[in-house]
């Protein structure tokens, strides 16, 4: 009978760590427990934590989000600038007091810039700041020049300018587009 048990144990040696017969437990020598030790798990978790911290410090996702929104602001100012050039080609001046074209001040965010007399649409949607949802600052004193201003989130932006006094900006960093 013992030979039979040894034969059965040797046949299933690769499959189990022990064999139970009634109240008897026969362990198979040379077979280690499956799994990781606590030290191994702690070391792996520590390495993953260090690598993820290093990766986050290099990528800096918050800075990337600020950079993307600043890029959107510059794109919005370019769209408004293109619309202003169309207004100037039609009316001979930029929107200002004394100019007969459409007024930027009367157009709310996400609405069309339309000349009410001719019905010409100059801008399908008036862009707004992506975070504050406010309009960008436009100023033109005589209709021959203008300045468009937007707040920037990144103080480290290489193209930042000082904000005009009449324009309140929380970051004190602005981007401007002026009539050439």
DSSP 34: P
Q: Which domains does the chain have, with CATH numbers?
A: 66-178 (3.30.700)
Bridge partner list, 84: none
pTM above 0.85, yes or no: no
User: Dihedral angle at the C-alpha atoms of 106, 109, 115, 120, nearest 10 degrees?
Assistant: 180
DSSP 139: E
Assess contact for 143 and 94: CB atoms under 8 A: yes
Mean pLDDT of all residues belonging to the chain: 83
Q: If we measure between CA atoms, which residue out of 131, 153, 166, 136 comes closest to residue 76?
A: 136
- More confident: 11 or 153: 153
- 8-38: per-residue pLDDT in tens? 555 554 445 555 666 766 665 665 567 888 9
| 13-52 per-residue burial string, b: 16 or more CB within 10 A, e: under 16 | eeeeeeeeeeeeeeeeeeeeeeeeeeeeeeeeeeeeeeee
**CA–CA separation, 114 and 35 (whole Å):** 71
**CA–CA separation, 38 and 42 (whole Å):** 6
- 98-123: per-residue pLDDT in tens? 788 888 888 899 999 998 888 899 99
Helix (H) or strand (E) holding 39: helix 38-59
């Amino acid at each position: 009978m013992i030979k039979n048990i040894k034969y059965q144990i040797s046949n299933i040696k690769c499959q189990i760590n022990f064999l139970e017969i009634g109240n008897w437990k026969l362990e198979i020598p040379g077979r280690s427990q499956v799994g990781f030790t606590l030290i191994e798990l702690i070391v792996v978790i520590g390495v993953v934590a260090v690598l993820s911290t290093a990766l986050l410090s290099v990528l800096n996702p918050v800075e990337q989000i600020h950079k993307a929104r600043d890029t959107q602001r510059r794109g919005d100012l370019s769209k408004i600038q293109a619309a202003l050039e169309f207004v100037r080609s039609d009316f001979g001046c930029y929107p200002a007091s004394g100019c007969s074209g459409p007024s930027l001040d009367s157009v709310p965010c996400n609405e069309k810039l339309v000349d009410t007399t001719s019905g010409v649409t100059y801008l399908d949607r008036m862009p707004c700041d992506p975070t504050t949802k406010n309009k960008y600052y436009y100023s033109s004193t005589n209709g021959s020049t203008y300045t468009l201003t937007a707040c920037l989130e990144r103080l480290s932006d290489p193209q930042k300018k000082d904000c005009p006094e009449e324009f309140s900006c929380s970051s004190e960093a602005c981007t401007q587009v002026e009539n050439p």
